[in-house]
Amino acid sequence: MTHTDPISLWDTSAAEPDPFGPLDGDVSTDVAIVGGGFTGLSTALHCARHGLSAHVIEAHRIGHGGSGRNVGLVNAGLWLPPQDVFALLGRGRGRALIDTLGEMPARVFDLIDRYGIDCEATRTGTIHAAHSPKGFDDLARRAEGWAELGAPVDLLDARQTAEKTGTTRFFGGLLDHRAGMINPMGYARGLARAAATEGAAISTRSPVRRLDRQGDCWRLVTDRGTVTARRVVLATNAYTDDLWPGLRRTFTMIHFFQVATEPLGERAATILPERQGLWDTAPVMLSLRRDAFGRLVIGSMGAVLGGGAGLSRRWAARTLARLFPDLGPVGFQDAWHGQIAMTPDHLFRIHRLADGLYTPIGYNGRGITTGTLFGQALAELFAGGDETALPVPVTDPRPVPGRTLRTGFYHAAFAFNQLLKSL
């Protein structure tokens, strides 16, 4: 494999290999998939399991986009509480989507078990932590919605949350027992290995330059050859470019950065002792996890600012000191950021861009379970299913009003938040 700079801690710590290389020549397949992340690889894997030939074409390496930069939370639901999903989709369609997403962590872990994917998987849940009394009120409302649906989700008071997290800074939490944690790059590479084992083809370092319609097929043109297919999935989400004009205007792109400490050993043993992943209710969200090697990985909305001892690392040091005053000074090993595709209503989209051409998009930071689900759902569609069985209704792409202004505002606000909390 040609050497390239690592994109995240997960890139260097993932145990799964990445043996794939560029496209070489002209090929035909049933399903062509642009993008080698969770969605594209899940599509390829499930197509192959349905007896369809599939070919993934990735511009860089497996997991190069959001998949390899993810926090690693295997969450069971949407960004929204159940009550808001019902208001947007109706009780029937909303309940179906919530139930399916509630099953997705188990499906992800089943795939990990079935194919022996080495990705540091833990199944001890995730914690949504209240940063304020108002945040706890929001969690209590969410807990009511989940209780009505019979979901295994517990509302924790401040004391219980402190026991689970190792800090007294939170006002409570919502523990979702369905969820868990993974090394996201390990999962992506493992999905690629699984897809290849089932017969799918994978080409990396092969950016698609052009997408042409030829009769009842599509032709994807790269520098090293072409792929012809009757069906195409654009599985690029927040890393969508201009291959399909106007598509990236259908979501607002934000960054999410993470900073990883050096392995802390017993110093961090009381922090998230059961290895749950955590995110909070603050408008500028905080995430925190402990990996299999004892590193704390802390993150928030925005891009990495400054190298070495730059702003993002100062933010991380001050935030850890506020949360865990007994931890003491820590050294940092890595910092990185990725892109998230946000939609105005925080719901996912599946667009049919043309006959035989689909794109799932707008994951709102829920890429692991959503990407796995949408890949499986599209494979079932291509194997003879009906569009009405897809997790969300198929819609036409619509540009987000004021997208450029929104993006600029978010970038500035998140940078200011880093500066303010670094003081």
Per-residue pLDDT reduced to its tens digit, 121-174? 999 999 999 999 999 999 999 999 999 999 999 999 999 999 999 999 999 999
pLDDT at 2: 43
Distance CA 326, CA 268 (A): 10
Beta bridge partners of 360: 350
Name the burial class of residue 138, with classes exposed (0-12), middle (13-18) and buried (19+) by CB atoms within 10 angstroms of its CB. middle
Amino acid at 96: A
pLDDT at 57: 98
| pLDDT, averaged across the chain | 96
DSSP conformation class of 396: -
Mean pLDDT of 382-397: 96
Element spanning 162, H or E: helix 158-165
Q: Give per-residue burial for 86-97: e unless 16+ CB within 10 Å, then b.
A: beebeeeebeeb
3-state SS assignment for residue 336:
strand
pLDDT at 308: 66
Mean pLDDT of 42-67: 98
Please choose, from the candidates 92, 82, 158, 152, the residue with its C-alpha nearest in 3D space to the C-alpha of residue 124. 152
Beta bridge partners of 301: 256
pLDDT at 309: 65
3-state SS assignment for residue 232:
strand
In this structure, are strands 27-34 and 126-129 parallel, antiparallel, or unpaired?
A: unpaired
Per-residue pLDDT reduced to its tens digit, 361-386? 999 999 999 999 999 999 999 999 99
pTM given for the model: 0.97
Backbone angles phi, psi at 122, to 5 degrees: -130, 145
